[in-house]
Amino acid sequence: MPVEAIEPIAVEEPEKEYLWTLNFGPQHPATHTTLRLILTLDGETIVNAVPDIGYLHSGFEKLGEDLNYNQYVTIVDRMNYISPVANEIAWHHVVEKLLGIELTPRCKYIRTLFAELMRLHDHLLCIGAAALDLGGFTAFLYAFYQRELIYDMCETASGQRFHPSYTRVGGLMYDVDDAFVQKVRSFVNGFPKAYHDIVRLLNRNRIFIERTRNVGVLSKEDAINLSCTGPIARASGVVRDLRKDEPYLAYKDFDFKIVCGTAGDCYARYLVRMEEMLESLQIVDQAIENLPGGPVNVDSQSKVVLPEQLSTYRSIESMIQHFELVMPNRGFEAPRDELYGAIESPNGELGFYIVSDGSERAYRARTRPPSFIHFAIFPHLIKGHQLSDVVAVLGSLNIIAAELDR
Amino acid sequence: MSHENTLRVLQERFGAGGFTTSEFRDNFRVIVTPSQLYAVLECLKQACGFIMLIDITAADYLHYPDARDRFGLIYSLLNIGTGERFYVKTYVNEPDLTLPSAFPLWHGADWMEREVFDMYGILFDGHPNLRRILMPEEFTAYPLRKDYPLRGRGERHNFPVITRAEG
């Protein structure tokens, strides 16, 4: 019996009622940190995303007005706790710019070395966690083993693994010793193998590529208009890196390249971070092999660093200076003015705006946190993509909620 | 990095007496009135190539020595082509804490202005979504103002507690 042709089901243009709302976070394994997204979904397609932040807001900038220039470093390294020393270097870079202090060559090299170790630290976490969310558990383990070695170096240099608080105005807490140099050398030798393991696991991994390529595309114009900096802007073709454009510390002495992409998608951001790690390793290698001798702190006559312990006990001038620096309502004499300074942190431009009223503490200590600026572009990147792409985009932006909320 | 060209363009447009300048280390600032602000920012973006907004922030000069105005707003701009940085500063006083929003020029201003509003209570006219961003919605004070105490006013202890049975 022939089948009668039936009327095709008329596809009506449905009302917007079928859209449904999904709450993502604040505690979700794939956010990695405490942030919340309110997603409006059409099936699995994201129509709108509203970030809701502030869960970790702890008033760091208010504290910056209450603690002096040395004390605030302990708060600063809790901002982006994935690369703590980079924050400390940024903070003291701006403070030293305000006070007009020129660092010693050895201090510059050690700080540069640490800044690049922190870049490796941060990129390893970003890549490892992104791979973990996208199903590449092994790469995560390889990345985290290397991070553990960097934690060991922090411990050797400062006595603290997670929050070293390593820099001081005009210098560092301690000079580095031979054990540290040995650790860095063995890390420089061992890292390429782990790096190539990660490359072999991810770069041509079909699942990883399918889930990151053409996902979360950021054009060059949008990257500039939305204030993006760092690897995220460079993956979109913005050729800008403060290490080359405004050389600070000892970056002028080193041979390295700026890595840029053009695609602007999650895969390009991943590749930019991977290549940057090799360049950072080169800088680490050059810095550790050419480490200059001499003191690590500026001359104690400049009245910003504590005098050596022995001379504090043996000479009256040093003792007075120690007293002046340690007692409240004394200490640093800053010019009464305000300024902005920034460094290229692993995530982008990390700047501080300090308003000084001439006292030993900042009148206003504004942070320009790259995570905050980059999370603002998230709705722009995710619209029109699938629900499962949320973790890919989040992973490629490397949002650290402690820095996001401060 | 010279600021002469930028300054000349601004002087041609707004007159030599239209604003004051100041310099400290490598920071070069122009200080403008709130009514000029949007025109200056627009001129800097369109005519001087400052296509990137780095930061918007504010400071409360309540206890600052010799300060005449209450709030200062600082716009940090960047010319990507030449690497030149430029700072625009303006002052606002109570009761009129309203400024034009920079959102039409740079979409990156969205969250920066929301943060300034959240922390200082400065309103941005023309902002698409001026809500609190870091503090909870029901918060009434502006915590980074200098007359707000460091340890708060007891808000932390008086937050409504939702028990498991109610939630």
Q: What are the pLDDT digits (tens) for A83-100?
A: 899 999 999 999 999 988
Say if B119 falls within a structural domain.
yes
| Closest by Cβ to A227, choosing from B25, B54, B132 | B54
pLDDT for res B16: 74
pLDDT for res A88: 92
Distance CA(A349)–CA(A232), nearest Å, equals: 11
First to last CA, chain A: 74
Distance CA(B12)–CA(A145), nearest Å, equals: 59
- The SS3 assignment for A117 reads helix
Say if B162 falls within a structural domain.
no
Between A93 and A328, the more confident residue is: A93
Res. A212: pLDDT tops 60? yes
Q: Which residues of B touch A61 (CB under 8 A)?
A: 119, 144
Nearest CA in chain A to B60: A364
Dihedral (CA of A48, A122, B76, A78) sign: positive
Phi, psi of A59 (to 5 degrees): 65, 40
Residue A162: CB atoms within 10 A of its CB come to 11
Is A372 in the B-facing interface, judged by CB distances under 8 Å?
yes
Q: What are the pLDDT digits (tens) for A112-133?
A: 999 999 999 999 999 998 888 8
Q: Which residues of A touch B63 (CB under 8 A)?
A: 357
Res. B19 pLDDT band, cuts 50 70 90: confident
The string over A332-350, giving b where at least 16 C-beta atoms fall within 10 Å of a residue's C-beta and e elsewhere, is bebeebbbbbbbbbbbbbb
Res. A11: pLDDT tops 70? no
pLDDT for res A188: 93
Among B22, B27, B75, the strongest candidate for a mutation testing the A interface, having the largest count of A CBs within 10 A, is B27
Res. A8: pLDDT tops 80? no
Check CB contact under 8 Å for A349 and B54: yes
Between B20 and A235, the more confident residue is: A235
| Closest by Cβ to B108, choosing from A57, A63, A225 | A225
pLDDT for res A9: 56
Nearest to A80 by CA among A278, A279, A382, A368: A368
Residues paired with residue B92 on neighbouring β-strands, in sequence order: B71
Nearest to A307 by CA among A289, A325, A294: A325
Res. A68 pLDDT band, cuts 50 70 90: confident
pLDDT for res A48: 87
Answer for the pair A126, A350: CB distance below 8 angstroms, yes or no: no
| Closest by Cβ to B110, choosing from A349, A366, A376 | A376
- The SS3 assignment for A195 reads helix
CATH number where B92 lies: 3.30.460.80
Distance CA(A189)–CA(A221), nearest Å, equals: 40
Check CB contact under 8 Å for B136 and A54: yes
pLDDT for res A59: 87
Res. B75 pLDDT band, cuts 50 70 90: very high
Find the mean pLDDT for residues B102-113: 91
β-strand B27-32 against B123-125: which pairing, if any?
A: unpaired
**What is the distance in angstroms between the Cα of B89 and the nearest Cα belonging to chain A?**
11
Residue type for position A274: M
Check CB contact under 8 Å for A54 and B65: no
Per the structure, the complete domain to which residue B125 belongs is given by: 4-157
Res. A181: pLDDT tops 90? yes
Q: Which residues of B touch A228 (CB under 8 A)?
A: 108
Check CB contact under 8 Å for B57 and A357: no
Interface pTM, i.e. ipTM: 0.91
Is B53 in the A-facing interface, judged by CB distances under 8 Å?
yes
| Percent of the residues in chain A that have a pLDDT greater than 90, as a whole number | 40
Distance CA(A163)–CA(A151), nearest Å, equals: 10
Residue A21: CB atoms within 10 A of its CB come to 10
Between A301 and A325, the more confident residue is: A325
What domains lie within chain A, and their CATH numbers? 14-52 (no CATH), 60-299+330-405 (1.10.645.10)
Check CB contact under 8 Å for B25 and A366: no
Res. A54 pLDDT band, cuts 50 70 90: confident
Answer for the pair A185, A288: CB distance below 8 angstroms, yes or no: yes
The string over B135-149, giving b where at least 16 C-beta atoms fall within 10 Å of a residue's C-beta and e elsewhere, is beeeeeebbbbeebe
In chain B, the number of structural domains is 1
Find the mean pLDDT for residues A289-318: 84
Res. A185: pLDDT tops 90? yes
Phi, psi of B120 (to 5 degrees): -125, -10
| Closest by Cβ to B54, choosing from A100, A339, A368 | A368
Q: Which residue has the tokens 């008033």?
A: A59
- The SS3 assignment for A83 reads coil
pLDDT for res B58: 93
pLDDT for res A1: 46
Q: Which residues of A touch B145 (CB under 8 A)?
A: none
Is B31 in the A-facing interface, judged by CB distances under 8 Å?
no
| Percent of the residues in chain A that have a pLDDT greater than 70, as a whole number | 96
